[in-house]
Structure 1
Amino acid sequence: MKDEVNIPISADWSKEEVIDVVNFFEMVDQAYSKGAEKEVLGALYKRYKEIVPSKSEEKQAFKEYEKQTGQSPYHTVKKARESEERIIKM
């Protein structure tokens, strides 16, 4: 992950929720760098959806993250869902 990435978070979230969201975006980054376990990525995305249930908020956050990093959380999650592989590598 680039040094100066502003992960899209909300001031309304608890400390635990912020940590969970950061963990999800770090797993997306890991999928691009060395590969991420499909099960872990899926669990982190599920938790992310509990924190950010709104599809429009999710799209906005993913777009913001992708603009900064060049990494697509949407395509990473999509590949994890469709892949038979245990490790997701973007």
Structure 2
Amino acid sequence: MDYQYPIDYSWSTDETIAVIHFFESVEQAYEKGISKEQFMDTYRRFKEIVPGKAEEKKLTGEFEEISGYSSYKVLQKAKSAEEGARLSMQS
């Protein structure tokens, strides 16, 4: 990883760590797979910190631009996956 995660400097340390964990879970879905539950846990915490759609789109868009990984695509896959499923974005 040769990039920085998009963060808001008004967040607390705990909030920043939680947002970074969310972006790491997106990376994990692309690189080795992640359980639906684990991904959704990090997403729910992310949404507690970033409740607005506009800010979510801005941050996830910045992340996709620098990493090539789409948070939106992982979330869509997670929403349609069965409980206990493993999410993998690998082709």
**1:54 aligned to which of 52, 55, 69:** 52
Runs of 4 or more, structure 1, over 6 Å off, are: none
Out of 24, 28, 34, the residue aligned to residue 30 of structure 1 is 28
Report the identity percentage: 43
Give the alignment's Cα RMSD to 1 decimal.
1.0
Matched positions, count: 88
Give the gaps of 5 or more residues in structure 1.
none
Deviation digits for residues 6-65 of structure 1 (CA, Å, limit 9, x no counterpart): 211111111000000000000100000010110010011000000001100100111111
Q: Does 2:81 correspond to 1:83?
A: yes
Please name the residue that 2:69 is paired with.
Answer: 71
Deviation, structure 1 residue 4: 2.1
- Please state whether the residue corresponding to 1:7 is helix, strand or coil: coil
Q: Secondary structure at the match of 2:7?
A: coil
Letter aligned with residue 29 of structure 2: A
Measured in 2, the distance between the counterparts of 1:14 and 1:71 equals 25
> In the alignment, which residue of structure 2 is the partner of 1:17?
15
- Specify the code of the residue in structure 1 equivalent to 2:37: E
TM-score by length of 1: 0.93
